[in-house]
Chains A and B, each alone.
Chain A
Amino acid sequence: MNDLTSKQPLSRSTHGAGSMMDNEKLIAESPDLRTTAKIKRETITAVGVFGLTILLIFLSRFVSPALGGWDQVNTVLVLACFLIVVSFGQGIVILIGGLDLSIPALITLSGVLTASWIGVSGDGSWYLFPLIMVICGGIGAVSGIGIVVLNIPPFIMTMATGIIVASSALGFTGGSPRGGASPLLLGLMKGNVMGIPWIILFILFFCVVGVLIQSRTTFGRRLMAIGSNLNAAVLAGIPTGNYIISAYITSAMSAGFAGFMLVGYANGATLRMGDGYLLSSIAAVVVGGSSILGGRGSFVSTIGGTLLLTTLGLVISALGVPQGWKTVIEGCTILFALLLLREDLISFFSRPKSRK
Chain B
Amino acid sequence: MAQAPASAEPSAPENGLLRRLFSSGTGVIALIYVVLYVLFALWDHSALTSGTVVNLANNAAPLAIAAAGETMVVLARGFDLSVAGVISLTNVIMAAYPMEGPDGAAISLLICLAVGGMVGLVNGYLVSVLKLQSIAATLATMIICQGLALVILDAPGGTVSDFVADQLTDVVIGVVPVAGLIILVIVAVWLVFQRTAMGIALYTVGSDEVSAQLSGISVSSTRFIGFVSAGMLYGLAGFMLSAQTATGNPNGGASFLMLTFAAVALGGTSLSGGRGSVVGSILGAGTLMLLQKVLFAGGVSSFYTGIFQGTVLVIAVVFGGLITRLSERRGAR
Contacts and interface: CB of A to CB of B under 8 A. Distances in A.
Contact of B303 (A153, A157, A171): A171
A135 interface: no
A169 to B, nearest CB: 9
A85 B321 CA distance: 35
B114 interface: no
A322 interface: yes
A167 interface: yes
A167 B303 contact: yes
B317 A156 contact: yes
A286 B139 contact: yes
Contacts of B306: 163-164, 166-168, 170
A330 B143 contact: yes
Of residues A150, A168, A335, which shows the largest number of chain B Cβ atoms within 10 Å of its Cβ?
Answer: A335
A157 B318 CA distance: 10
B262 A332 contact: no
Interface stretch (B93-101, B147-155, B163-171, B226-234): B147-155
Nearest to A334: B140
B318 A152 contact: yes
B141 A331 contact: yes
A215 interface: no
Contact of B154 (A101, A174, A322): A322
B135 A323 contact: no
A175 to B, nearest CB: 7
Contacts of A325: 147, 151
Given A279-B139, A332-B140, A293 B147 contact: no
A150 B318 contact: yes
Given A163-B310, A291-B133, A327 B146 contact: yes
Interface stretch (A11-19, A241-249, A338-346): A338-346
Interface string B284-313: 000000000000000001011111011101
A332 B144 contact: yes
Contact of B314 (A160, A170, A283, A330): A160
B35 to A, nearest CB: 19
A326 B318 CA distance: 41
Contacts, number: 149
Contacts of B303: 167, 170-171, 174-175
A326 B272 contact: no
Contacts of A339: 130, 132
A9 to B, nearest CB: 38
B147 A326 contact: yes
B42 interface: no
A207 interface: no
A99 to B, nearest CB: 8
A327 B311 CA distance: 34
B330 interface: no
Contact of B313 (A150, A163, A279, A343): A163
B166 to A, nearest CB: 30
Given A150-B318, A151-B321, A282-B139, A328 B148 contact: yes
Contact of A164 (B146, B250, B311, B317): B311
A214 B248 CA distance: 45
A292 interface: yes
Interface string B150-192: 1110100000000000000000000000000000000000000
B41 to A, nearest CB: 25
Contacts of B270: 153
Interface in A118-166: 146, 150-153, 155-157, 159-164, 166
A101 B218 CA distance: 33
B299 to A, nearest CB: 14
A162 B259 CA distance: 12
Contacts of A237: none
B63 to A, nearest CB: 14
Contacts of B139: 279, 282-283, 286, 334
Given A292-B133, A330-B143, A162 B151 contact: no
B144 A342 contact: no
A320 interface: no
A324 interface: yes
Contact of A324 (B126, B132, B150): B150
A156 B135 contact: no
Given A151-B321, A163-B262, A331 B147 contact: yes
B271 A155 contact: yes
Contacts of A171: 301, 303-304, 307
B83 interface: no
Given A163-B306, A328-B144, A156 B137 contact: no
A163 B150 CA distance: 26
A273 to B, nearest CB: 15
Contacts of A153: 265, 270-272, 317
27 contacts: A152-B318, A156-B261, A157-B314, A159-B310, A160-B310, A160-B311, A160-B313, A163-B306, A164-B310, A167-B309, A168-B304, A168-B307, A170-B303, A174-B303, A282-B135, A282-B136, A292-B135, A324-B154, A327-B146, A328-B143, A328-B144, A331-B141, A331-B147, A332-B144, A335-B144, A339-B130, A343-B131
Q: Give 9 nearest A-B pairs by CB, closest first.
A: A167-B306, A327-B147, A324-B150, A324-B151, A331-B143, A328-B147, A331-B144, A164-B310, A163-B310
Given A283-B139, A327-B150, A331-B141, 4 more contacts: A291-B133, A327-B147, A328-B148, A334-B139
